[in-house]
Amino acid sequence: MRLVTTVAALVLLLPLGGALAGKGEEEHQKIVDSGQVYDDPELQAYVNRIGQSLVANSDKPDQKFTFTVLDTEMINAFAAPGGYIYISRGLLPFLDSEEELAGVIGHEIAHVTANHHGRRGRQDITNKIVATTAYILTGSGDIAEASTMYGAELISGFGRDMELEADGLGAEYMYKTGYDPQALLEVIGVLKDQEQFQRVKARASGKPAGTYHGLYATHPRNDKRLQTVISKASELDLDHYVESPEQPGEFRSHIQGLVWGPSIQGQRDDNRYYHNKLAFTFEHPEDWTVESGSRAVVASAPDGSASLTITLRRKDGSTPESVLRGSARGELSGGTELEQAGLKGYSAVASSGGISRRLAVIDYNYSYLFQGQSDNFAADDATLLQMIESFRPVHPQEKQAGTPRYVQYIQVPRGATFASIATSIRIPHAEEQLRLLNGMYPRGEPRTGDWIKVIR
C-alpha cells in the first residue's frame, strides 16, 4: 500500500449513542444529500462487506455500522457518531490489497468499540462533527482553518496510547475475520514514505515541510509497540481455522478505473446560483433571475416585486451580529444566529418608515451582507430567509471539473522505468507519485511484465 496525504487530512474518532449519535446521523444525511458519496455501488458494497465482516468479529458485533466511500481526493478514513465510518476515495489507490483496506477499517471500528471518546468533552466533539462535515462538503481550507481543523488539535486522534489500543483491537478483528494483521505495518510504512516525500518537496521549494496528522500519525516508522500488539493478535487461540475472505483479483477490479484527483461528478442544481470566482452558491425560487455585477449579486422575482441583494466587505474581526447592527437602518427585531455548512451568521428584520427589510450577515472569506425586500414583505419574508439560509460554499463536486483521470493497471514494457512511464502522465511529480502508488519510493524500478498502477 502506498499513500499520499493532504496537510488538512482529517481523523475524527467519535462515540456512539445519545445526542451524539443523532448528530452523526444528521451530518451523515447532509453528506449524502450533497452528493459527496462516490457513485460506484459495487465499490460501496465491497467496502461495506469488509466492514460488516470485521464488525461481526468485534467486541460489539450487534452494533450498527454504516460504511461509506466519499468522493474526495482527501486521503484518510474516520469515524463519526452512530457508527458512520468513512473511507475517502483518495485513499484507495494507494492500498495494495483488501487486507490493507481491512486494516484501516478495523482501526476505525476499534476506536468506536473501545469508546475512546470518553476523554473528550461532549460539546467539543459536537462542534468537531459539524466542522468535519463542513470540510467534507466544501473542501475549503479557509473553513477548515476557521473551524480549528487545520492544526493537529483535531486531527491528531486520541494520542499514541489510544491509537495503539485501536491498532491492537483492529488487529484482533482482522485475525478473527481471516485477514493478516501484519498488513497494518504496511500502512505505517506508506505514510512515512509520504512524509519523506513531503520533506523533499518542501526543501526543493524552500517552504516548510508539513507533517502528516492523519491515520497512524502517532506511530514511528519502526514502532516496536505496534509490532508487539499485532503479534499478539496473530497468536490468538481460535476454535477453528478462519480462511481469508479476500478473493483473488477482486480488490484490483475495484481499483481499476477509480477516479484520481478532483471529483468528476459535477453536480449542479438548476435552482441554485453559483458564483465561480467567490465559490459560493444559494438557492432561489424557480422563476427568479440572478444578475451578478461588480458591486452586488441581485436575485429578483419575475415581476420585480421582491429581491435579495448580496454585497460583501472585508472581514475585520467583528462578529456577524455586530456587523449587521452597525450597518442596519431602522429598528431591528427577530434577531437570530445562523449556522450552515460550517458558516456563522446573523439575521434580523429592520423596520423604518413602515417598510421592513430582511437583513443578514454571513462570514465566508468575506463578510457577506444580505438585504431582502418585497412589496408584500409579510408574505415573502419566509422565502427571503430561506434563500439566505441556503447560502453556502460551492461543493467540490459543483466546481467545474477538468480533464478526468483514472487509476489503471498496466504491465511494465521491456526496458521501461518509472521515469519513462511518467513522461506520459500529466500530473505534478508524476514519477514520485508512481513510486508511492506502487511501493517503490524513493528508489527501485519495476520489472518487465510486472503489473503496476498508473494514472490515465
Residue 388: closest CA among 295, 293, 273, 286: 273
Q: Is the residue at 5 inside a domain?
A: no
Say which CATH number the domain at 357 has: 3.40.1000.10
How wide is the angle at C-alpha 94 spanned by C-alphas 449 and 225, nearest 5°? 115
Amino acid identity for residue 285 in this structure: P
Query: 436 and 371 in one domain?
Result: no
State phi, psi for 444 to the nearest 5 degrees. Answer: 110, 155
- Tell me the pLDDT tens digit for each residue of 354-403: 999 999 999 999 999 999 999 999 999 999 999 999 999 988 767 766 67
Collapse the DSSP code of 339 into the 3-class scheme (helix H, G, I; strand E, B; otherwise coil) and give the result. Answer: strand
Query: 216 and 276 in one domain?
Result: no
Look at residues 354, 370, 393 and tell me which one is the last residue of a structural domain.
Answer: 393
Which pLDDT score, from 0 to 100, does residue 149 have? 28
Query: 415 and 389 in one domain?
Result: no
Q: Is the residue at 10 inside a domain?
A: no
Rounded Cα distance, 219 and 229, in Å: 13
Query: 351 and 232 in one domain?
Result: no
C-alpha cell at 332: 431591528
Which range marks the domain in which residue 181 is found? 16-260
Query: 286 and 252 in one domain?
Result: no
Query: 244 and 197 in one domain?
Result: yes
Q: Is the residue at 11 inside a domain?
A: no
Rounded Cα distance, 196 and 191, in Å: 9
Rounded Cα distance, 218 and 232, in Å: 20
Query: 300 and 211 in one domain?
Result: no
Which pLDDT score, from 0 to 100, does residue 227 have? 87
* Helix or strand holding residue 368 (H, E): strand 366-374
Query: 232 and 163 in one domain?
Result: yes
Q: Is the residue at 158 inside a domain?
A: yes
How wide is the angle at C-alpha 367 spanned by C-alphas 32 and 386, nearest 5°? 45
How wide is the angle at C-alpha 376 spanned by C-alphas 374 and 382, nearest 5°? 75
Q: Is the residue at 387 inside a domain?
A: yes
Query: 53 and 21 in one domain?
Result: yes
Number of domains the chain is built from: 3
pLDDT tens, residue order, the chain (456 aa): 333 333 233 333 333 456 667 777 888 888 887 778 998 999 999 999 999 999 999 999 999 999 999 988 877 788 777 888 999 998 899 999 999 999 999 998 998 898 765 555 566 666 666 666 666 666 554 433 333 322 333 344 567 787 888 889 999 999 999 999 999 888 777 777 877 887 888 888 776 655 444 555 566 667 788 889 888 898 887 877 889 999 999 999 999 999 998 887 766 778 899 887 888 999 999 999 999 887 899 999 999 999 999 999 999 999 999 999 999 999 999 999 999 988 999 999 999 999 999 999 999 999 999 999 999 999 999 999 999 999 999 887 677 666 789 999 999 999 999 999 999 999 999 999 999 999 999 999 999 999 999 999
State phi, psi for 70 to the nearest 5 degrees. Answer: -90, 145
- Tell me the pLDDT tens digit for each residue of 187-208: 777 777 877 887 888 888 776 6
Rounded Cα distance, 298 and 309, in Å: 4
Q: Is the residue at 326 inside a domain?
A: yes
Judge if pTM exceeds 0.75. no
Strands 66-70 and 84-88, by their bridges, are parallel
Say which CATH number the domain at 412 has: 3.10.350
DSSP assignment letter at 413: P
Q: Is the residue at 443 inside a domain?
A: yes
- Under 8 Å CB-to-CB from 165, ≥6 apart: which residues? 110, 114, 116
Query: 352 and 248 in one domain?
Result: no
Q: Is the residue at 156 inside a domain?
A: yes
Query: 244 and 199 in one domain?
Result: yes
Place of cell 528508489: 443
Query: 230 and 140 in one domain?
Result: yes
Query: Sheet harboring 366-374: ordered strands across?
Result: 289-292, 297-300, 306-313, 366-374, 355-364, 343-352, 331-340
Task: Please classify residue 194 by burial: count the beta carbons closer than 10 Å to its beta carbon, then call 0-12 exposed, 13-18 middle and 19+ buried.
Answer: buried
Rounded to whole angstroms, what are the CA distances from 172 to 19, 79, 96, 438?
30, 19, 21, 27
Rounded Cα distance, 456 and 445, in Å: 20
Query: Sheet harboring 392-393: ordered strands across?
Result: 272-275, 280-283, 392-393
Rounded Cα distance, 21 and 82, in Å: 4
